[in-house]
C-alpha cells in the first residue's frame, strides 16, 4: 500500500485532508500471533516477535515516527494459547516495555506524534484477508445470501415508503434489518467452512430474515423454510480467523 516514495509501510498515512490517519496492518506479525505462536513456548515466541520488530526498525531507519501495526483477526486466537495467552502476553509486554528502541502506543497517540503523515495518492477497496472482499462475497453461497438480503431490503423499503408502519414498528424493523445485515453471515457461508457451523448460521440467518418479514407484515418467502447453505470444509482453527496471506 505504500506509495513509490515510501519504501516502508510502517508509518502514519493520510489519503488527503481532512481524512483520518491511515495505518496498514503488518500481516506477517499479526498472523504469527494469530496462528503460529500459540504452539510455541512464550519466551521463544516473544523473542521471535521482538527480532522481527528489530529488523523492521533497521529497514525503516530513514523514517521518523515509525509505527508497526499489529492487528489481530478478532480475539479468537487466545483460546488456542495456554492459559488464554497469559504467559505470552505477560512476556511480550514486559519485553516491549523494557526495549530501548520500542514504545507502546495507540493509533491516536501515533497520529498525534506524527507531524507529517505520508500522503497516499489512492486507497483501494479491500480487507486484511488477502487484500480482497472474497471472505464476504463472490462464493455462490455468499452471493445467494446477499440476494436473499437484498430481496428483504427491497420489501423493507417499499413498506416504509408506503407508511404502513407506526414509529414503534419502524424502529423494530430497522433493528431487525441491521441484524440481517451483519457481516458474519457472509463470513461463514461457503462450503469451505465446517458443516456444523454453517448449519447454525444458515438456520439463524433464515430465522432473522423471517422475523424481518413478519415485522413488515409480509409473507415469508418459501426459501426461508428450507436449508440454503451447507459446509464441508476443515479450515484452520475452525474458520474463526483468516490469515492475511496464504500459508
Q: How far apart are CA 203 and CA 49, in angstroms?
A: 41
Q: For residue 245, what pLDDT is reported?
A: 67
Question: What ranges do the domains of the chain cover?
Answer: 13-119, 140-239
Print the SS3 string covering 135-163: CCCCCHHHHHHHHHHHHHHHHHHHHHHCC
Q: For residue 80, what pLDDT is reported?
A: 92
Q: Could you report the average pLDDT of every consecutive run of 10 residues in the chain (247 residues)?
A: 56 84 90 94 97 91 79 86 96 96 91 82 86 90 97 98 97 98 92 90 97 98 96 74 66
Q: Which three cell numbers stand for residue 183?
A: 457481516
Amino acid at each position: 500500500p505504500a506509495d513509490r516514495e515510501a519504501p516502508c509501510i510502517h508509518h502514519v498515512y493520510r489519503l488527503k485532508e481532512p481524512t483520518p490517519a491511515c495505518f496498514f496492518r503488518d500481516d506477517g506479525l499479526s498472523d504469527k500471533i494469530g496462528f503460529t505462536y500459540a504452539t510455541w513456548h512464550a519466551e521463544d515466541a516473544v523473542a521471535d516477535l521482538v527480532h522481527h520488530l528489530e529488523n523492521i526498525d533497521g529497514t525503516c531507519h530513514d523514517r521518523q515516527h515509525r509505527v508497526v501495526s499489529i492487528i489481530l483477526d478478532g480475539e479468537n486466537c487466545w483460546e488456542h494459547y495456554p492459559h488464554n495467552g497469559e504467559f505470552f502476553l505477560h512476556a511480550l509486554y514486559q519485553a516491549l516495555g523494557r526495549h530501548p528502541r520500542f514504545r507502546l502506543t495507540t493509533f491516536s497517540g501515533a497520529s498525534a506524534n506524527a507531524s507529517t503523515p505520508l500522503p497516499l495518492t489512492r486507497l483501494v477497496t479491500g480487507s486484511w484477508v488477502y487484500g480482497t472482499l472474497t471472505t464476504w462475497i463472490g462464493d455462490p453461497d455468499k452471493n445467494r445470501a446477499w440476494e436473499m438480503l437484498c430481496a428483504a431490503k427491497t420489501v423493507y423499503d417499499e413498506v416504509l415508503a408506503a407508511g404502513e408502519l407506526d414509529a414503534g414498528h419502524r424502529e423494530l424493523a430497522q433493528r431487525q434489518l441491521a441484524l440481517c445485515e451483519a457481516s458474519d453471515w457472509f463470513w461463514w457461508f461457503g462450503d469451505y467452512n465446517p458443516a456444523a457451523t454453517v448449519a447454525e448460521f444458515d438456520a439463524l440467518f433464515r430465522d432473522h430474515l423471517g422475523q424481518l418479514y413478519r415485522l413488515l407484515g409480509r409473507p415469508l418467502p418459501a426459501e426461508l423454510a428450507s436449508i440454503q447453505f451447507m459446509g464441508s470444509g476443515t479450515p484452520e482453527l475452525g474458520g474463526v480467523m483468516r490469515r492475511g496471506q496464504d500459508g
